[in-house]
């Protein structure tokens, strides 16, 4: 089970989006273990070992705004849901296997992309993390008719600065114990919980588009995340809104990789009419246009991520065997 709230090796430094290696005033507080050791404090109810499941957590973050991070997170959740139902057709449609967690409490748009109401309030996010358990978390979830569970709060200006970081991490711990797959939609700005969320993930996708500012920002963030995470979590650059058949005088893939100084992990085609239709209908792209170019590219990306995370999982098991 993931333990986002137990990561104690947090560096007291952050990266600036404006200048590589520049220090800014925002300090990431150490994510100290919030599980109380004192007998005087109530203990958080955790699932028993027999009920705990090894979840996969994928985090998606935009290099800049408007690169389609939430659209991709929703589509990945939909494709995973479809795969899980194909693997076990006897599962009831209402039994959700996938959860999206929108970690942008100011301008997150998961609830708008899926046209559902948030069940989590900002008072809940400001509350005591020790009260977070499975039953409380279930009350905070809302499920889309496609079977995707969503943990999100209403958009409130300034909310990211006022929520309790330890409560956010406690919710991530709880959700990861309930679902086989958890998709995190992170804000592009660094928050107090960003390090723990990224460090507790099995895969980090950094989205950008084919513009110089976006590519430069993706390169900067990837380099700084690699240093921060110490290669514990694979962080890959995903190029979105790429037009393969364009004859315009635009950047090419070779230009993008030169600007990034790394290979692109995957590409998603420009398919704005389809993605806009899906967003306006409150559905994932694959639900209404399964054969669209965007849906096909997202399925290829899904297989790539599954391959990477499977390899990482096998390596970890081998290390455990060697250590034992």
The CATH number assigned to the domain holding 262 equals: 3.40.50.300
Residue 203 lies in a domain: yes
DSSP-H helix ranges across the chain: 69-87, 110-114, 122-125, 134-140, 165-178, 194-199, 212-229, 253-260, 272-281, 285-288, 293-323
d(C-alpha 186, C-alpha 197), whole Å: 9
Task: With respect to residue 48, please indicate whether it lies within any of the assigned structural domains.
Answer: no
Q: Is residue 7 part of a domain?
A: no
**pLDDT score recorded for residue 85:** 76
Domain residues for the domain of 285 are: 53-323
Provide the 3-class DSSP secondary structure of residue 266: strand
**60 belongs to a structural domain:** yes
194-206 confidence digits (pLDDT tens): 999 999 999 999 9
Residue 136 counted as domain residue: yes
The model's pTM is 0.81
80: alpha, beta or left, given left = phi > 0 and alpha = psi -120 to 50?
Answer: alpha
So what's the pLDDT on residue 1? 62
Low-confidence ranges of the chain (pLDDT < 70): 1-2, 5-53, 87-94, 245-249, 311-324
Does residue 40 lie in a domain region?
no
201 contact partners, CB below 8 Å, separation of at least 6? 57, 58, 59, 184, 233
Q: Kindly state whether residue 249 falls inside one of the protein's structural domains.
A: yes
> What pLDDT sits at residue 71?
96
Q: Is residue 262 part of a domain?
A: yes
Residue 151: the pLDDT is: 97
Q: pLDDT (tens digit, 9 = 90+) per residue, 150-193?
A: 999 999 999 999 999 999 999 999 999 999 999 999 999 999 99
User: In total, how many domains does the chain have?
Assistant: 1
Q: Which pLDDT does position 84 carry in this prediction?
A: 82
């Amino acid at each position: 089970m993931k333990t986002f709230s137990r990561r104690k090796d947090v560096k007291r430094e952050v990266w600036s989006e404006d200048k590589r290696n520049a220090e800014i005033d925002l300090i990431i507080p150490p994510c100290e273990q919030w599980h109380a050791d004192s007998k005087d404090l109530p203990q958080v109810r955790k699932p028993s070992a027999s009920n705990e499941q090894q979840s996969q957590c994928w985090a998606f973050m935009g290099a800049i705004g408007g690169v389609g991070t939430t659209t991709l997170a929703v589509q990945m959740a939909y494709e995973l849901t479809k795969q899980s139902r194909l693997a076990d057709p006897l599962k009831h449609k209402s039994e959700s296997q996938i959860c999206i967690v929108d970690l942008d409490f100011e301008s997150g748009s998961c609830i708008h992309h899926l046209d559902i109401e948030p069940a989590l309030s900002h008072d809940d996010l400001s509350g005591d993390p020790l009260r977070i358990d499975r039953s409380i978390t279930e009350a905070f979830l809302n499920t889309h008719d496609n079977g995707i569970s969503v943990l999100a709060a209403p958009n409130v200006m300034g909310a990211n600065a006022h929520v309790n970081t330890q409560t956010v991490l406690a919710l991530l711990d709880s959700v990861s114990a309930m679902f086989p797959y958890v998709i995190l939609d992170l804000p592009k700005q660094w928050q107090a919980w960003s390090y723990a969320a990224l460090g507790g993930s099995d895969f980090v996708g950094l989205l950008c588009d084919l513009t110089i500012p976006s590519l430069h920002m993706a390169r900067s963030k990837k380099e700084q995340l690699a240093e921060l995470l110490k290669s514990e979590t694979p962080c890959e650059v995903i190029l979105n809104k790429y037009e393969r058949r364009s004859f315009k005088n635009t950047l090419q893939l070779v230009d993008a990789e030169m600007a990034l100084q790394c290979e692109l992990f995957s590409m998603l085609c420009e398919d704005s009419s389809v993605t806009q239709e899906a967003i306006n209908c409150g559905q994932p792209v694959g639900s209404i246009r399964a054969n669209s170019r965007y849906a096909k590219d997202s399925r290829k990306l899904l297989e790539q991520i599954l391959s990477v995370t499977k390899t990482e999982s096998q390596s970890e098991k081998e290390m455990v065997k060697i250590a034992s």
